[in-house]
Amino acid sequence: MAENENRTVWPVTLYQNQMTERTDDYSARVKTFDDTKDLEYVVNEVIADGTEFKKQTLIDIYTRIEAKIRALVRQGYPVQTDNVRFGPSVEGSFSGEGLPLEDSEIKCTLNLTATETMQKALENVTYHVDGVQEDGGAAILSFKNLTTGATDGSVNRMDFVEARGKKIKAVNQDGTGIGKVDLVSVLGVATTIESLPYNDPSRIAFNIPEDLAEGEYTLQIETYFSTGNKLLKEPRVLVYSKPIVIS
């Protein structure tokens, strides 16, 4: 990521859009960095900028604030910080009597909205096309919770789930292993799936990790698989178009 005093540039990779029939339709995805910045990193940056507070004091204060935000949201209050607004929301369809409609799952969830402050911070951000990834017909086409039977992306921790598609077998550069299958949070933090009981060209299956926090995630597969025994020179990254929601 390049940055100067007035402008920040995000490197992006173009991927074929599997949701349309056009062959010249591509979507841009910001490159995922392996060194996701955690709270300790942010605190160290604040200290480097200059502050009279000690590192552990800053971490303790922030942790307490985050816990209080969660408590208020659980009570149904919207909470707004400098960067984001947390809006409690109930998803699903009801009858006029207040009963869930047939086949409608009711879920208490959140709407996250960037504040005006955050939006202004992005005004001088631009992008640079750093590469084009041809998917060659590869795509994640569906996702199913095999534990509950749900196909809307709703899961619980430790549920057994499957993704189906084309050329989605996850393998490493030498054709071995299980490649890289991630569930990426809305904050860009990736949790890697460690085991794939089923790992085929048209199907992968795994258990949702038991330590994941509630919220929306994106299923992402990075693989060198092509066709048969053929391997790609560069990894192909496949992203499922619908969110996976852990409750």
137-246 folds as Coagulation Factor XIII; Chain A, domain 1 (2.70.50)
Give the pLDDT confidence score for residue 188 in this predicted structure. Answer: 82
- Reported pTM: 0.58
pLDDT in tens, 160-202: 999 999 899 999 999 998 999 999 998 888 999 999 999 999 9
Give the pLDDT confidence score for residue 236 in this predicted structure. Answer: 87
Give the pLDDT confidence score for residue 137 in this predicted structure. Answer: 75
With vertex at residue 223, the alpha carbon angle to CA 163 and CA 152, rounded to the nearest 5 degrees, is: 20
Segments in the chain below pLDDT 50: none
Give the pLDDT confidence score for residue 164 in this predicted structure. Answer: 94
- Residue whose entry in the numeric block shows the structure tokens 């949790």: 191
Give the pLDDT confidence score for residue 193 in this predicted structure. Answer: 96
Give the pLDDT confidence score for residue 26 in this predicted structure. Answer: 78
Give the pLDDT confidence score for residue 1 in this predicted structure. Answer: 55
Domain-wise residue ranges, the chain: 2-129, 137-246
What is the torsional sign of CA 150, 155, 156, 159? positive
Q: What letters, b where the CB count within 10 A reaches 16 and e where it falls short, cover 67-94?
A: eebeeeeeeeeebeeeebbbebeeeeee
Q: Do domains 2-129 and 137-246 have the same CATH topology?
A: no
Q: Specify the amino acid at residue 178.
A: I
Written as six digits, the tokens of 8 are 């920040």
Cα separation values, 1 from 6, 27, 54, Å: 14, 19, 29
The string of DSSP letters for 170-238 reads: ---TTS-TT-EEEEEETTS-EEE----SEEETTEEEEEPPTTPPSEEEEEEEEEEE-STT-EEEEEEEE
CATH for the stretch 2-129: 4.10.520.10
SS3 (DSSP) at 46: helix
Give the pLDDT confidence score for residue 222 in this predicted structure. Answer: 93
In DSSP terms, which residues pair with 45 in a beta bridge?
none
pLDDT in tens, 137-154: 788 989 999 999 999 999
